[in-house]
């Protein structure tokens, strides 16, 4: 297993370009199953989760190609298997996103039920209840969701909780259903809007994406289209926290500052100076430690759970006491014990991490447990005294494109040790 060796202590300075958003690319690749015509997708990040999704589509019969501009072209006119096996779903829960499209277009889907994961139990009951309300016959048998339907029927759904992939799965199912579907209490995340924009380009009739009520009028078929994936707001936020911790001046290009309001507000309270224009963010952190911040995670437009671990790392070296309350997932604090091993003064009370910032963390061997927890350990290592080895970085390769190259470009001392 690959590891990162990181020598902490230096400032971050320079410019990097932000990649396409993983959590938009995954549902959009699944959405290609909704048409037999060719889809062209640009700005797809090079990530392990994308490779897994392409493998999953490939084994179903998708024809996948990279064109000369590195766009992914997907043609689904010969799907022969409507099946997502346990071996793939267990490595990537987002495989559940093929359920809605397969059922809507082919009337049949056998998808392994995802198990629990490092950040919480993460059930998919809301996805299944929604599809059942649209007329699907759903059984769970030997660990597999077996869903069948002649043609799904539009209906009025009020989702029990705000769920991002649940909203996406139901929206993809509804675009080919008969009649109108109303999704209330829908997720408002920018990635849901990006998926809706792609579906609209394919001929779907969707209104209200980005609000908590999405209205979809089903159509008989969809056609091919070209879509460019929106920039990754979590990758953007991760680099911004890094520079706020390490000091220096960084410019992040090809991003969307308006998607990061809650994150930028917290970075400003921590002491960062931030200037934005349409597609760039410049952050300057003058010498000195950041100020501790208090955070409560919640669905968009609230503070994203996917930025919680990185801000926990910031509070570890901040001046003052900060509390971080995780409201979306029940067990997303696996990084806390690793931060303690680097000298952090942090304790957990229920779903809140209370941190009394220390002047200096100390490098240590640490272990990544999930994607964002791994990012948090890299940030801590960048400001720690001495050397840190971060083990199991396959987690980070799932969601950050060439993170070590981007940090090196900003002057950090980070190398990959192949394992
Ligand atoms: N939930 C249910 N039942 C359901 C669905 C969700 O109880 O049927 C609960 C979950 O257990 C959780 C809450 O609802 O407590 C919200 O979960 P959600 O369904 O929104 O999460 P998700 O769709 O599985 C996506 C992202 C996650 C991100 C969350 C929250 C993708 C592929 N994944 O997951 O991204 O943390 O939304 O914003 O879009 C990451 O990138 O590191 C990551 C984990």
| Mean pLDDT for the chain overall | 96
- Ligand 1 pocket check for 124: Cβ under 6 Å: yes
Closest CA to 106 of 34, 178, 203: 34
Residue 66, pLDDT above cutoff 90: no
Residue 10, pLDDT above cutoff 80: yes
Which residue is closest in CA terms to ligand 1's atom 24? Answer: 165
The set of catalytic residues is 117
| Cα separation, 150 vs 304, whole angstroms | 38
- Indicate the range of 113-122, 275-284, 351-360 predicted with least confidence: 113-122
- Say if residue 125 is exposed, middle or buried (CB neighbours under 10 Å; 0-12, 13-18, 19+): exposed
| Cα separation, 416 vs 398, whole angstroms | 15
Closest CA to 185 of 222, 219, 160, 151: 160
Which residue is closest in CA terms to ligand 1's atom 19? Answer: 163
Tell me, in angstroms, the distance from the centre of ligand 1 to residue 314's CA. 24
Q: Which of 26, 159, 235, 328 most suits a substitution to test ligand 1, by most atoms within 8 Å of the C-beta?
A: 328
Residue 323, pLDDT above cutoff 90: yes
Query: Quick one: average pLDDT of 249-259?
Result: 98
Return the pLDDT at 39: 98
- Indicate the range of 20-29, 230-239, 328-337 predicted with least confidence: 328-337
Return the pLDDT at 217: 98
- Ligand 1 pocket check for 242: Cβ under 6 Å: no
Residue 44, pLDDT above cutoff 90: yes
Return the pLDDT at 121: 81
CB distance 32 to 199 below 8 Å: no
Q: Which of 22, 164, 335 most suits a substitution to test ligand 1, by most atoms within 8 Å of the C-beta?
A: 164
Q: How confident is the model at residue 317 (pLDDT cuts 50, 70, 90)?
A: very high
CB distance 42 to 71 below 8 Å: yes
Residue 195, pLDDT above cutoff 80: yes
319 Ramachandran zone, left/alpha/beta (phi>0; psi -120 to 50): beta
207 token code pair: 């209104």
Q: How many CB atoms lie within 10 A of CB 213?
A: 14
Return the pLDDT at 318: 98
Residue 306, pLDDT above cutoff 90: yes
CB distance 24 to 43 below 8 Å: no
Return the pLDDT at 332: 93
Express as a percent the part of the chain with pLDDT over 70: 100
Return the pLDDT at 23: 97
Distance from the Cα of residue 250 to its chain's centroid: 23
Tell me, in angstroms, the distance from the centre of ligand 1 to residue 80's CA. 29
- Ligand 1 pocket check for 99: Cβ under 6 Å: no
Helix (H) or strand (E) holding 336: helix 335-341
pLDDT digits (tens, 9 = 90+) for 137-193: 999 999 999 999 999 999 999 999 999 999 999 999 999 999 999 999 999 999 999
Q: Of all atoms in ligand 1, which is nearest to the CA of residue 124?
A: 8
Sheet with 3-7, edge to edge strand ranges: 365-367, 387-391, 3-7, 413-417
Say whether 294 sits in a helix, a strand or coil: coil
Which residue is closest in CA terms to ligand 1's atom 25? Answer: 164
Q: How confident is the model at residue 117 (pLDDT cuts 50, 70, 90)?
A: confident
For 260, 372, 389, the CA distances from 255, given in Å and listed in that order, are 10, 19, 30
Tell me, in angstroms, the distance from the centre of ligand 1 to residue 119's CA. 10
| Cα separation, 46 vs 368, whole angstroms | 20
Return the pLDDT at 70: 83
Express as a percent the part of the chain with pLDDT over 90: 94
Which residue is closest in CA terms to ligand 1's atom 20? Answer: 163
For 88, 266, 316, the CA distances from 357, given in Å and listed in that order, are 40, 16, 5
Return the pLDDT at 137: 98
């Amino acid at each position: 297993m690959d590891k990162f060796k990181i020598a902490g202590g230096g400032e971050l300075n320079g410019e990097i370009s932000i990649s396409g958003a993983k959590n938009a690319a995954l549902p959009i690749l699944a959405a290609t199953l909704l048409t037999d015509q060719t889809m062209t997708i640009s700005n797809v990040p090079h990530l392990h989760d994308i490779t897994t999704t392409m493998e999953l589509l490939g084994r179903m019969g998708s024809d996948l190609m990279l064109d000369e501009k590195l766009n992914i072209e997907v043609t689904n006119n010969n799907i022969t298997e409507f099946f997502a096996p346990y071996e793939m779903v267990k490595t990537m829960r987002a495989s559940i996103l093929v359920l809605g499209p397969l059922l809507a277009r082919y009337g049949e889907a056998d998808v392994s039920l995802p198990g629990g994961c490092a950040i919480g139990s993460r059930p998919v009951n809301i996805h299944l209840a929604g599809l059942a309300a649209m007329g699907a016959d759903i059984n769970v048998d030997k660990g597999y969701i077996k869903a069948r339907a002649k043609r799904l029927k539009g209906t009025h759904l009020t989702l029990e909780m705000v769920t991002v992939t649940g909203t996406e799965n139901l929206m993809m199912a509804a675009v080919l259903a008969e009649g109108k579907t109303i999704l209330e209490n829908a997720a408002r995340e920018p990635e849901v809007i990006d998926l809706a924009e792609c579906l609209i380009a394919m001929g779907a009739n969707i209104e209200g994406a980005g609000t908590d009520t999405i209205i979809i009028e089903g159509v008989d078929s969809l056609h091919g289209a070209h879509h460019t994936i929106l920039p990754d707001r979590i990758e953007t936020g991760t680099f911004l926290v890094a520079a706020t911790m390490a000091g220096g001046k960084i410019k992040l290009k090809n991003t969307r500052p308006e998607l990061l309001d809650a994150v930028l507000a917290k970075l400003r309270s921590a002491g960062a100076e931030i200037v934005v224009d349409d597609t760039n963010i410049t952050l300057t952190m003058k010498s000195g430690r950041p100020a501790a911040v208090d955070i409560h995670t919640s669905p968009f437009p609230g503070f994203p759970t996917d930025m919680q671990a990185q801000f926990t790392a910031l509070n570890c070296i901040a001046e003052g006491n900060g509390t971080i309350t995780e409201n979306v997932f029940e067990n997303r604090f696996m990084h806390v014990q690793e931060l303690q091993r680097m000298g952090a003064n942090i304790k957990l009370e229920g779903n809140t991490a209370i941190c009394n910032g220390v002047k200096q963390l100390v490098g240590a061997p640490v272990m990544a447990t999930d994607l964002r927890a791994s990012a948090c350990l890299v940030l801590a290592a960048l400001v720690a005294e001495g050397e840190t080895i971060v083990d199991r970085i396959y987690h980070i390769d799932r969601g950050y494109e060439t993170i070590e190259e981007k940090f090196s470009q900003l002057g950090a001392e980070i190398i990959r040790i192949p394992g």
